Structure 1
């Protein structure tokens, strides 16, 4: 019983910390977009930019996931919004539940990016959901991850962000693979920029 109470307290503490980190992430994203050198916004949008629109931060979309490594996957060319075809490999699967419903997302590694210092353990988690094209960007959203050190990871959808091409057509962005289309509304993270 004591162990169970301790685990519940530990999980609640980690949720609180995750919510604070999500708020910090969103604040930093707004600062980045408001800084001309870092912003993907068009000149026209930059002049009137007051901040991105986010769903309210909620613990419902901070989920514990089972990480399953998938070795021996073949490198493939991921489609993008342009003719560019960057090479990726499926690195693993994330199995989790929301409202008692089971879901799976694949995480990927960019073959070129992992050659760069500081990105050796970087993983890419693109997804789309039932809000896409309505309240969120039609092309889906992204999450950044690092290679997990254990079989359990936390996915914080409050940190979901739009690809740069949601703001400016000059960018080339990976298109979310069909297997990462979730049949649920993820009411967390960044909303779409233009109505």
Structure 2
């Protein structure tokens, strides 16, 4: 008969597997980042983008798309290049100029052209366009992401210690020439492998959550060199569970068409965290 400890470890492994499977399904979404075919940086010069309708430009914090007659673009299921009808005439052949923005930093909108979802976003103060198509080879050939077997030793308790005031923190990016600025509300202190450690935390996507970007002594060996990410939710008293088994790769681990942030310098951990996702198969010849 299994002991209490054996039963707990088995439950821990099962919960991790359920989480990992769900994360993989999300990653392999038909219009997720594995479906990104191009990364276009917009400027004031109207330009045709490969495989997309219209000419695209960005100026004065506004993205402008000019559609020719017969070109189609939708937003939220609404056709944006429909015919115009006024009291005088039907104008089915007119060019149509569309404007989007301003878009907040790290924000974005989705447009649709056929099977392609077109992400229009702002990164590093610049506007980008990233088409996402389910037929993209990276998505079609995706094999899943290798990961360490779950190990409860890498699920540790920590304490979130808020700063006196949130600190704007500038970090580099996977794409040269841009920087990201995040607000860091505090740091998470914890102990691992006999060492007292701390990680600067940024505000997460979900309310009340924190996001931690880090590297460790496995980075560039068994795990992706540039970064990994861990999402945590502190309790009201500041206690937090750091389960490094759920450390995940960011999009830049799979594609050069991502603008992912790099960890702040203080988040380069001096220990080997042999837990969580490993270097993707797609990058293993680039370690």
Shorter-chain TM-score tier: 0.7 to 0.9
Unaligned runs of 5+ in 1: 1-8, 114-118
Q: Which of the two has greater strand per residue?
A: 2
1:160 and 2:160 correspond: no
1:120 and 2:207 correspond: yes
Larger of the two Rg values belongs to structure: 2
Match of 1:29? 23
Unaligned runs of 5+ in 2: 37-135
Match of 1:80? 173
Whole-angstrom distance in 2 between the partners of 1:143 and 1:23: 16
TM-score after normalising by structure 2:
0.56
Alpha-carbon shift at residue 70 of structure 1 (Å): 1.2
Match of 1:61? 154
Q: 1:61 to 1:141 in 2, by over 3 A?
A: same
Whole-angstrom distance in 2 between the partners of 1:76 and 1:183: 21
Of the structure 1 ranges 175-184 and 143-152, higher mean CA displacement relative to structure 2 is found in: 143-152
Alpha-carbon shift at residue 143 of structure 1 (Å): 0.7
Match of 1:47? 140
Q: 1:95 aligns with which of 167, 180, 189?
A: 189
Q: Which runs of 4+ in 1 moved over 3 A?
A: 15-21, 83-86
Structure possessing the higher relative contact order (Cα contacts under 8 Å, 6 or more residues apart): 1
Q: Contact (CA 8 Å) 2:209, 2:234: kept in 1 or not?
A: yes
Alpha-carbon shift at residue 106 of structure 1 (Å): 1.3
Alpha-carbon shift at residue 36 of structure 1 (Å): 1.9
Q: Contact (CA 8 Å) 2:169, 2:181: kept in 1 or not?
A: yes
Whole-angstrom distance in 2 between the partners of 1:64 and 1:79: 29
1:32-54 alpha-carbon deviations (Å, 9 max, x no partner): 23332224256323222232100
Query: What SS is found at the alignment partner of 2:166?
Result: coil
**CA RMSD of the aligned region, Å?**
2.5
Q: Contact (CA 8 Å) 1:41, 1:168: kept in 2 or not?
A: no
Aligned length: 178
